[in-house]
A and B are shown apart, each in its own frame.
Chain A
Amino acid sequence: MNNVLAIAHKELRSYFASPIAYIVIGFFALLFGWFYIGILDWFVRQGMQMGPMGMGQSNMNVNQQMVRPLLLNMTVVFLFLLPLITMRTYAEEKRSGTIELLLTSPLTDVEIVAGKFLGAMGLYAAMLAVSLLHFGLLFAFGTPEWKPLVTAYLGLLLFGGCFISVGLFISSLTKNQIVAGAATFGVFLLLWVIDWIGQGMGPRAEAVLKYLSMTEHLDDFVKGVIDTKHLVYYLSFITFGLFLTVKSVDSERWRG
């Protein structure tokens, strides 16, 4: 475990020593702020229209009508930002030769991969934390439920974890971080639209592709429900991504 933390710490350091962390967090803050203000504006106007009609504020649900669409929309942003987080993890170590240090240290492949995953998750969590500040404001001025917010963030962490595990795997396949970034974006996009592809392919295919779609599983979390079905989906997805990464690093040794 110490080894895993040592690698994770190193990864986080290197994110913050390079522009990557600031670009990722900055863009996220900007876009999130933009969406947030837009939706807040809409929400407030809706409330004012409803007010005079006698329906009262009570029918307006902050969680359902504001937090939920906002977070689901924000996941699009991850398509662009998460490849930036994962693209260099392995590619850069291979290019610069530091992979030789890691692979000749008394570490197992699993420890190295887990450390890199944790490091990337750390940056991702830091990015998400920015959005918490905005939601904090909601608590200052209203009374949203906090439970759906907690499950929503758990869902987002798992959702991002899937992308990050895939991104790590792709980064382990090349020496070139730009190639890794572009390929990762492509694969994310595919995972993103996979349920659209299924439309019109018959009910069976539709159901399967819908199950594979990552966004599909997020909605319940954002609604405030933790369904084991979704939990299992995300955790097995992450495990599979990390497993592929370990295998890739291992086979890289054989190829030299």
Chain B
Amino acid sequence: MIEVEHLTKRYGPVTAVQDVSFQVHKGEILGFLGPNGAGKTTTMRVLTGYMPATDGRVVVAGHDVFEQPVEAKRRIGYLPETPPLYPDMTVREYLQFVAKIKGVPSGDRKSRVEQVMVRTWVADMAGRACGKLSKGYRQRVGLAQALIHNPDVLILDEPTAGLDPKQIIETRRLIKELAGDHTIILSTHILPEVSQTCDRVVIINKGRVVAVDTPHNLMGRLRGAETMFVQVDGARASEAAAALAKVPGVVRVAPADNAATGAFEVESEKGRDVRRELAKAVVLGGHDLLELRPTRVSLEDIFLSLTTEEQPEEAAS
């Protein structure tokens, strides 16, 4: 449903996003996880056609966002980081305006607006000026705005930021309900959010994708955080891998990315040094050990900079 290929975005000399590629399948919820400044908002702005990429391609619901912007935008609902509300319009007027510019046929507009207001729990504020809403309500009107034209794809930039715990739970439940009919990308810098809401996670740091996996696997990788890079002579690589996996304390053995056959990433239980055992296993198995070194624990570093606590933000305004 969404294909992002080699996306790069530079702001003048600053490279905000570099060579990002991923896909989102129909009906899936993809979490976009990364610390502040990682490039989440930038990626989403490119995906929604708000700004063009410096390089790369984005296809949403079969339409290239740069080649056929209007067609692509018809199929996208977008909640920016700050909900784009007009302070002097009432919630109902605002949603009617959005419905109009998003191309909802005039006959359906009224009922669509009422429907969406109920769905996002803002119906009781329908007559209130958007400028006079609390942070929680603003966020929900922002969500209502994104849903108004029943788009195939929803792109939500930190949808729970600034909400109180009860609102966070409600919003996550709503997002889960919406999946299936809609394909959803949501960004967050809160670790538990992805495990509770998302089917798959893209972890982004300093503008680069560092991991794409299910929340379950990612959590596993976080716990078994010690990672070694092991390279053996390529001849009987799979045998060597099996030998490595048998070493006590080893959690996972996977072929290393972008490396020759015979190169593996070996994850072991946290705090357990298995280097000697790994070396022994390789040599006793009759393989030639070419390299053995701890890899940068990049994933862990990133997780450390993520918010792991379920605390509402300092509620601004």
Q: In the complex, which residues 17-52 of chain B have their Cβ closer than 8 Å to any Cβ of chain A?
A: 42, 45, 48-52
Q: Which of B73-81, B200-208, B277-285 faces chain A?
A: B73-81
Q: Given A97-B82, A97-B84, A102–B101 Cβ distance below 8 Å?
A: yes
In the complex, given contacts A97-B80, A106-B70, A256-B45, what are 13 additional A-B residue pairs having Cβ atoms less than 8 angstroms apart?
A3-B100, A6-B101, A96-B84, A96-B86, A97-B81, A98-B84, A98-B86, A100-B78, A101-B84, A103-B49, A104-B49, A105-B101, A256-B9
Does A46 sit within 8 A of B, measured CB to CB? Answer: no
Contact call B88/A18, Cβ cutoff below 8 A: yes
Of A9-17, A51-59, A66-74, A122-130, the one touching chain B: A9-17
Q: In the complex, what residues of B have CB within 8 A of residue A254's CB?
A: 51-52
**In the complex, per-residue mask of B46-78: 1 if CB is within 8 Å of any chain A CB, else 0:** 001111100000000000000001110110101
Chain B residues within 8 Å of A107, by CB = 70, 101
Kindly identify which residue among B9, B69, B74, B80 contacts A100, using a CB–CB cutoff of 8 Å: B80
User: From DSSP, what is the main secondary structure of chain A's interface residues?
Assistant: helix
A201 to B54, CA, bound (A): 48
Asked if A166 is at the interface (CB within 8 A of a chain B CB), the reply is: no
Report how far A255 CA is from B13 CA in the complex, Å.
Answer: 11
Q: Which residues of A contact B48 (CB under 8 A)?
A: 104
CB under 8 Å from chain B, chain A span 1-46: 2-3, 6-7, 10, 13-14, 17-18
Cβ of A253 within 8 Å of any chain B Cβ, yes or no, is yes
Interfacial chain B residues near A99, Cβ < 8 Å: 84
B78 touches A6 (CB 8 A): no
CA distance A3 to B97 in the complex (A): 10
> Does A108 belong to the interface (CB within 8 Å)?
yes
Report B251 CB to chain A, min CB distance, Å: 42
Q: How far is the CA of A103 from the CA of B45 in the complex (A)?
A: 10
Closest to B129 in A: A17
Which residues in B have their C-beta under 8 angstroms from that of A18? 88
User: Interface digits, B81-99 against A, CB 8 Å rule (1 contact, 0 not)?
Assistant: 1101111110001000110
Chain B interfacial positions (CB closer than 8 Å to A): 9, 11-12, 42, 45, 48-52, 69-71, 73-74, 76, 78, 80-82, 84-89, 93, 97-98, 100-103, 145
A–B Cβ pairs within 8 angstroms, 22 of them: A10-B86, A10-B97, A13-B89, A13-B93, A14-B86, A14-B88, A96-B86, A97-B80, A100-B80, A101-B145, A104-B50, A104-B73, A104-B76, A105-B101, A105-B102, A106-B70, A253-B50, A253-B51, A254-B51, A256-B9, A256-B11, A256-B51
The tally of CB-CB contacts under 8 A between chains A and B is 76
Contacts of A17 on B, CB cut-off 8 Å?
Answer: 88-89
Contact status B50-A96, CB under 8 Å = no
Choose among B9, B51, B88 the residue with the greatest number of A CB atoms under 10 Å from its CB.
B51
B105 shortest CB reach to chain A, Å: 10
Q: Which residue of B lies closest to A18 (CB)?
A: B88
Q: Which residues on B sit within 8 Å (CB–CB) of A97?
A: 80-82, 84
Report A215 CB to chain B, min CB distance, Å. 35
Within 8 A of B (CB), among A58-89: none
How far is it, in angstroms, between the C-alpha of A105 and the C-alpha of B89 when the chains are bound?
Answer: 18
Residues on the A chain within 8 Å of B86, using CB? 10, 14, 96, 98
